[in-house]
Amino acid sequence: MGIVRVESFSISIDGYGAGPEQSIKHPLGIGGSDLHQWAFPTATFQKVLFNSENGNSGTDDDFAARGFKNIGAWIIGRNMFSPDRGAWTNMKWKGWWGDNPPYHVPVFIVTHFKRPPIYMEGGTSFHFVSGGIHEALHLAREAAKEKDIRIGGGANTIHQYLKAGLIDELHIAISPVLLGSGERLFNGIDMRQLGYECTQFVNSEKATHLILKKST
């Protein structure tokens, strides 16, 4: 069985994984895009987001690339899929990424409101799970078979899986920015008590990359 991983999740120096007031104009909240200055220029993100052959190699790209290896399914929160709240009213909305999203595997979206699955180009499918994080993980395990499951965010979704002790490994990138407000990733969580330890840290020009693993 594969493991449950968080990859390329960026937080600010003051601990925020997203800025406030998410909207169409600010998909990551106000100031949230600044968290990903290390990621967007990499060859990996240029390829998966923009289908471009340009982009930087090096430390940042090494960490970005590892997040797409051996992934059989994703789990994300509703906020990562849509800026809307409440019951689904715009059924034409199919995510931020266009007709061919960068996932290429089944994606399970944790939400309070049901919606029929959406099948996209490139092998991506979106499945809306209203039964909570455990149901989403069960479905993701079935879809991923022996491959890993990537918990993609946002911060609140990762927070829930951390509190439940369901994440095996995290790659966190600390970006040299201050957001001041937004969604904190580790607020109210005792990572040490949960059994996590830092097994690797590497500095690049635009981030400090940390690997946190849960002891077995």
| Per-residue pLDDT reduced to its tens digit, 88-112 | 888 888 988 889 999 999 999 999 9
CATH number, domain containing residue 54: 3.40.430.10
| Per-residue pLDDT reduced to its tens digit, 80-89 | 898 888 888 8
Total domains in the fold of the chain: 1
What residue numbers bound the domain in which 178 lies? 4-214
Tokens of 136: 């989403």
Helices (H), the chain: 43-50, 59-66, 78-81, 133-144, 155-163
Burial class (CB in 10 A: 0-12, 13-18, 19+), 37: middle
Q: What is the pLDDT of residue 182?
A: 93
Q: What is the pTM of this model?
A: 0.93
Q: Hey, what amino acid is at 213?
A: K
